[in-house]
Structure 1
């Protein structure tokens, strides 16, 4: 073989192995301390079994557990916490809200990165459209809590209303700009072979109908989706005429580790079809969030269940809704490895290589073709991401990608 052919062969091999791929670069960094609170009633009085302690742990409402992000006005962001303290039974005093945050990231050595918490939208059901009992059933405002819904994703609509994806149903929930429920929660159709999606449903163990008809001791549950495996991720197309809610867990009967992505028409409030399946790198992994790039391409966060030094996989992939493999799974392309981020300016203070090793990383949004924002869900008052005895803060990363995204007009920070 000639010298030229050898060089071409070596170059081809290097490219195929990704030898020239570079890590995403941290170009902005900010932290919101774990102990950040907003006005509201005392909370944290319930245990995982629903037992009530003599006193609540917190005198107001923690601003924590961010599970989704969208753009707000005037350069702000809207972040949405999930159901609060992790389960249906320990979160009846955690109020479901969306918070306005202004982020001033550190972009140069010696700078500071700050996050200011602004106003919030409180979810509520004063018109009694939720067809099952809620914690604040007999109050005028009927404020929604983490025992009513486990909200994990949301998309603001052009008319100012908001669609939310949640996990207890799993349901899609439609609310006004100021948080009032506009219609009954939309259940999830079952597209399994032999099922009729017009009447058969995907239901978790926390679905109200499952809880109301619990099996006899030792009997099989009618749930066909694991707990806390509902709509962790959801994105809209560019015009937001379609929503794409993504389950976090596999439906009973599906190949383990494959997650259903649905298409939903917000104008009619009805599901359109099953688009395909996202295949996890390992069945024990989870997805964390989903964000639009263009009408076909979307970002998806995938993570393992470990944290700190034990974390092995925290990545962001790109999928194309028009590209499926022979098994009906989306073709995935790695966009960023969150455990191998270049930080040449040492913005985060951890040296030239920055790791984002939190167990739950649940926020991503496209800023422009080369830049994305990523943040974690700190599961307040959990510890372990930055040290066994350190409360996990909320960290906000501005990442410059190695290769630009094909961002559609109308996507990104305008």
Structure 2
């Protein structure tokens, strides 16, 4: 334990959220340029990736450099599909392996048509810092459960693409995958082979949640006509999802807009955690409020420890390490807006709120065993990524944390160099036992 900070609660009283020590016990990196081959029965269209990164088609391989916050060292399009964009993680005790979800591809509907949607199963050996890709499960809608057109509508296999869904969170229940989407937002139910079984629209207080990417929205016929309204910001759907027993806890990344403002209590905006029962296949009408430390922050992942306690990633939108911060006007080879807030909070679901009990700081991790594969910053291991979107409990002492490298756009370790996928094993005994 290091220090104490103050956090606002539902009733605007003050409670203590304590910072706890985290020690690095393992570190695995997967090169950003690692790739997988699409299935043999997939359309030829998926044999290359990134053709629409600039919104219009470009077929020539490596014809333009990728550019996110800065230009990176990766060129698009390229052959095959990337091992990229890890947006959720679950440790499977039965197989001692890790399931990892990839997101929609390049970030938007209109640039991700050729990005396939899939789940990886990895064996991660933190003792020797190695990994093995055991299986990739490609998602499909061959039984036509989604009522809107998809990219591969005319094919038999009907593989799903990043123009169809933006998959950001998941849980495994009864051998199936329950996946949170941001375009609808939708709750998606897949079987173990990756075939879509059910699609659930989302309601809170009997009102449907709609993002600007929801296929239900249509423009009016006339410029002066009235358009359908949406109440969730783009890319602010189900970024995180936890589960306990048969219940899912779906955490929105953005607040719900009620017509003139976002939901708030005493002027403080909050995010909704929405409970869903996988047995009855209905929303229970029970929700919890999660208050960000700053409204510019985002959440990254959510997993339950037990029936009442869970872990939530909260982060700023910045990236980069402090020892490479820019000095002066030349920002080509440095970071001008370095990461400052990357935390994992332990929360308690109680009285309609996810109350913050304590946290660990991902920019201030001990490396007592000298296992880091990256350079330390002022003697500390840091996880300085713009998007950190995976956390799960491994055992009573350890958690696993993973970044989303926003492939190929994020460059948080080295400016202008595409980030690798990284997995870290953290020893956090005192933190997990906090009450």
Cα separation, 1, equivalents of 2:48 and 2:125:
30
Q: 2:313 aligns with which of 301, 310, 313?
A: 301
**Secondary structure of 2:195's partner?**
coil
The equivalent residue for 2:85 is: 65
Cα separation, 2, equivalents of 1:227 and 1:340:
32
Moved more, 381-390 or 345-354: 345-354
Cα separation, 2, equivalents of 1:38 and 1:353:
34
The equivalent residue for 2:182 is: 167
Q: CA deviation at 1:384?
A: 2.2
Contact 2:240 2:299 in 1 (8 A): yes
Q: After superposition, where does 1:201-212 map in structure 2 within 5 Å? A: 201-210=208-217, 212=218
The equivalent residue for 2:35 is: 37
Contact 1:224 1:251 in 2 (8 A): yes
Higher relative contact order (CA 8 A, sep 6+): 2
Contact 1:257 1:284 in 2 (8 A): no
The equivalent residue for 2:204 is: 190
1:37-79 Cα offsets, whole Å, 9 max, x none, are 001121110035x311133511000011000111345221110
The equivalent residue for 2:116 is: 95
Q: CA deviation at 1:375?
A: 0.5
Q: CA deviation at 1:335?
A: 2.5
Q: CA deviation at 1:274?
A: 3.5
1:301-355 Cα offsets, whole Å, 9 max, x none, are 001000013111100011111155xxxx432123311011111233214233111
The equivalent residue for 1:396 is: 423
Cα separation, 2, equivalents of 1:83 and 1:61:
12
Q: CA deviation at 1:217?
A: 5.1
TM-score by length of 1: 0.85
Change (3 A) 1:129 1:347: same
The equivalent residue for 2:238 is: 231
**Secondary structure of 1:300's partner?**
strand
Cα separation, 1, equivalents of 2:389 and 2:139:
20
Unaligned runs of 5+ in 2: 7-15, 39-46, 62-76, 322-337
TM-score by length of 2: 0.81
Contact 1:122 1:179 in 2 (8 A): yes
Contact 2:19 2:358 in 1 (8 A): no
Q: 2:289 aligns with which of 258, 277, 287?
A: 277
Unaligned runs of 5+ in 1: 1-13, 107-111, 192-196, 408-414
Confirm or deny that 1:321 pairs with 2:349. yes
Q: 2:354 aligns with which of 322, 330, 337?
A: 330
The equivalent residue for 2:158 is: 142
Contact 2:20 2:360 in 1 (8 A): no
The equivalent residue for 1:6 is: none
Q: CA deviation at 1:268?
A: 2.2
Contact 2:360 2:431 in 1 (8 A): no
1:353-388 Cα offsets, whole Å, 9 max, x none, are 111000000000001222100010011112321011
The equivalent residue for 1:363 is: 390
Stretches of 4+ moved more than 4 A in 1?
Answer: 14-22, 214-221
Cα separation, 2, equivalents of 1:228 and 1:19:
29
Contact 1:260 1:274 in 2 (8 A): no
Change (3 A) 1:214 1:265: farther
Q: CA deviation at 1:190?
A: 3.0
Cα separation, 1, equivalents of 2:398 and 2:221:
49
Confirm or deny that 1:46 pairs with 2:46. no
Aligned length: 372
Q: CA deviation at 1:257?
A: 4.1
Higher strand share: 2
Confirm or deny that 1:28 pairs with 2:26. yes
Cα separation, 2, equivalents of 1:261 and 1:119:
31
